[in-house]
Chains A and B, each alone.
Chain A
Amino acid sequence: MDEYVIVTENINKIYGKGDIQVNALENVNINIKKGEYIAIIGPSGSGKSTFMNLLGCLDKPTSGKLFIDNTDVSKLNESELAKIRREKIGFIFQKYNLLPTLSALENVALAMSFAGVSVKERYERAEKLLDMVGLSKRVTHKPSELSGGEQQRVAIARALANKPSIILADEPTGNVDTKGGWKIMDILEEINKQGETVIIVTHDPDVAKRAKWVIRIQDGVVSAHVAR
């Protein structure tokens, strides 16, 4: 089991109660090895975002087990989940979700501050990461002064800040122009080549094409799990 970074056992996620109950995910069993590059695809409302939120420890499954780096997170409390998010997971959102009051550098450093990294170390690392995503000249800019693509690259740098086991990207190119989108995909691919597990949720076939594995979710059920 050591080779797997994510193991799910019969995960169900049910929203609501009684008659208005919605099964967002049904009996999901997926194992993801370290260093994989995976695309999760499916139409909107299929449950792929729900799955993503479970993997990102933003939400808990209604039943079943979810192991992240061999820890069953389905039983953890809120502060333990926060620790997993801090240490194991790097989140990249469709809408970047940077803090508007902080500069690019501070946004990247903030994630490390929650993890207790020393001030000196976190700013050095933040600069390195921003350099890696090609923003070394924009470190002092606030999100409002950056283009969509640039903001998403800051978000990637932030996701990498605490050296997570998994990078989760939810429609990372969804709000970025085509050229910016390819640049983001290049960076994610590069990160994967360095050994990072990358999971992308997308409905864009061009994005999905670049992944090594594609998981298709439809109506809360994993309908295909194919290697490309």
Chain B
Amino acid sequence: MWLDNFKIAFKNIKERKSRVFLTFLGIAIGIMAIVALMAIGEGMQEAVVGELSSLSDTVIVTTADVTAGPMGGGISGANTNYFSQRDIDDIGRIGGIESIDPILFGYVLMDFNDEIQYVSVLGMNPGRMSEIFGIEFLGLESGEFIKEGDQNRCVIGYNVAHEYFDSDIHVGSKIILNDKNFYVNGIYKKQGAGFSTETDDYVHMTERDFEKLTGDKNISGIFIRVENVGDAEFIAAEIEYAIDENHGEEGYANAITMSSLLESVQEIIGIIQIVLIGIAAIALVVASIGIMNTMLTSVMERTHEIGIMKAIGARNTDVMSIFLMEGLIISLIGGVAGIIFGLIGANSLGSASTSEFMGPGMSLEPVVTISSIIMSLSIAIFVGILSSLYPARKAAKMSPIEAVRYE
């Protein structure tokens, strides 16, 4: 019975290919949008979370009047509070800590080819530099990190190397910082406007060079690795407590763990995903109106045939199922095509957005999960049935005598 109704529905569709094609295109675009946008959302989630997870054993401590980015280097603002050596020593006494890296921050004048710019400088333990900034998605574009004992050498950010001055700075170039000669040992990859802008506009050097250059030993941030990721939150709280105690001011220190950051980033991505799916849903609503329109036209055109079928004994449910099947076939074919287009679209959109927004260092691989395909297909089926329900009911309710008279 169902198979017979399916065959009739299929023949009806074949009879009016071009109109059905347009309807089918509507649903295909809707489903395509869902698949592609979900894949990109999922890809974004994986890219960001994957990278942040590799840093989940990290705790970043800044003074509360300073903002810190997730990479520890994002120290900016006119900070007046600094950490003391005693703070560092106290942190060292907390159990479960693997390493402590104080980070010094300041501004200097940079002269290159007689052009002068203000730049931000970070001083840190050179042995730890590659540990902190050498991870895969940061890393160097060219050159090397500074080694222990290096003097007057620095690693500069992408923007400092390529944007700040008329001509590009290369590895080995001589730059002048506050009247002292420095040599460029390495240049960071571009991080772009993503979450890790902390290297693009910075000059990194050893603590000793930083002190020589600025005359200060202002510790603006502390970069801490814990032994056990599970203890990170607890250790962060202990650090805050210890430092606040030292300075006699509650909230003096602000210790951020990567896992708490991860949560908020995931939240943001979740919102982005909902927005993306919302956009796709609009496309789908339009598509479902298209199906309903096509089905209503089909019901009207077939009034006479509905009458014939009823006259020869078709039940209301037979008529209804024929029209439901028609809607279902259109949406199902549209859905499958939409998924295929979506896969293609996700890939091209993925590679485009990778180079456009994330910078060459970051890669956004769209991730298409089986569940997203099943979900899209279910949505297609649902939309198909839902939007042909009204037309199908209308067809089923027709009076056979009036329908058969209708020409």
Q: Which residues of A contact B (CB under 8 A)?
A: 53, 56, 58-59, 78-79, 82-83, 85-87, 89, 91, 93, 97-102, 110-111, 113-116, 158-159, 162
Chain B interface residue number, banded? 20 to 34
Which residues of chain B come closer than 8 Å to A158, judged between CB atoms?
A: 312
Which residues of chain A come closer than 8 Å to B400, judged between CB atoms?
A: 58, 85
Q: How far is the CA of A89 from the CA of B11 in the complex (A)?
A: 27
Which residues of chain A come closer than 8 Å to B312, judged between CB atoms?
A: 85-86, 91, 110-111, 114, 158-159
Distance in angstroms from A44 CB to nearest chain B CB is 14
Q: List 18 A-B contacts (CB under 8 A).
A: A56-B311, A58-B310, A58-B401, A78-B316, A79-B316, A87-B313, A93-B404, A97-B307, A99-B305, A99-B308, A100-B15, A101-B8, A101-B11, A101-B15, A102-B11, A110-B312, A113-B1, A113-B4
Q: Which of A58, A97, A114, A159 contacts B314 (CB 8 A)?
A: A114
Nearest residue in B to A161 (C-beta to C-beta)? B312
B132 within 8 A of A: no
Q: How far is the CA of A115 from the CA of B309 in the complex (A)?
A: 12
Q: How far is the CA of A93 from the CA of B304 in the complex (A)?
A: 12
Distance in angstroms from A219 CB to nearest chain B CB is 21
Distance in angstroms from A4 CB to nearest chain B CB is 22
Nearest residue in B to A88 (C-beta to C-beta)? B313
Which residues of chain B come closer than 8 Å to A113, judged between CB atoms?
A: 1, 4
Q: How far is the CA of A13 from the CA of B305 in the complex (A)?
A: 26
Q: Is the CB–CB distance between B8 and A82 below 8 Å?
A: no
Q: Is the CB–CB distance between A58 and B1 below 8 Å?
A: no
Q: How far is the CA of A185 from the CA of B29 in the complex (A)?
A: 56
B51 within 8 A of A: no
Which residues of chain B come closer than 8 Å to A82, judged between CB atoms?
A: 310, 313-316
B12 within 8 A of A: yes
Which residues of chain B come closer than 8 Å to A115, judged between CB atoms?
A: 313
B318 within 8 A of A: yes
Distance in angstroms from B257 CB to nearest chain A CB is 67
Q: How far is the CA of A59 from the CA of B404 in the complex (A)?
A: 12
Q: Is the CB–CB distance between A97 and B11 below 8 Å?
A: no
| Mask of B279-307 contacts with A, CB within 8 angstroms, 1/0 | 00000000000000000000000001101
Q: How far is the CA of A110 from the CA of B12 in the complex (A)?
A: 14
Q: Is the CB–CB distance between A79 and B309 below 8 Å?
A: no
Which residues of chain A come closer than 8 Å to B4, judged between CB atoms?
A: 110, 113
Which residues of chain A come closer than 8 Å to B11, judged between CB atoms?
A: 101-102
Distance in angstroms from A110 CB to nearest chain B CB is 7
Q: Is the CB–CB distance between A111 and B313 below 8 Å?
A: yes
Nearest residue in A to B3 (C-beta to C-beta)? A119
Which residues of chain A come closer than 8 Å to B308, judged between CB atoms?
A: 93, 97-99
Q: A58-B404, A59-B401, A79-B316 are in contact. Are A85 and B311 (CB under 8 A)?
A: yes
Nearest residue in B to A115 (C-beta to C-beta)? B313
Which residues of chain B come closer than 8 Å to A79, judged between CB atoms?
A: 315-316
Q: Which of B12, B305, B318 contacts A114 (CB 8 A)?
A: B318
Which residues of chain A come closer than 8 Å to B310, judged between CB atoms?
A: 58, 82, 85
Which residues of chain B come closer than 8 Å to A91, judged between CB atoms?
A: 311-312
Which residues of chain B come closer than 8 Å to A99, judged between CB atoms?
A: 8, 305, 308-309
Distance in angstroms from A91 CB to nearest chain B CB is 5
Distance in angstroms from B8 CB to nearest chain A CB is 7
Q: Is the CB–CB distance between B309 and A110 below 8 Å?
A: yes
Which residues of chain A come closer than 8 Å to B305, judged between CB atoms?
A: 99-100
Q: How far is the CA of A101 from the CA of B307 in the complex (A)?
A: 15
Q: How far is the CA of A91 from the CA of B308 in the complex (A)?
A: 9
Which residues of chain B come closer than 8 Å to A116, judged between CB atoms?
A: 1
| Mask of B305-338 contacts with A, CB within 8 angstroms, 1/0 | 1011111111110100000000000000000000
Q: Is the CB–CB distance between B313 and A83 below 8 Å?
A: yes
Distance in angstroms from A168 CB to nearest chain B CB is 10
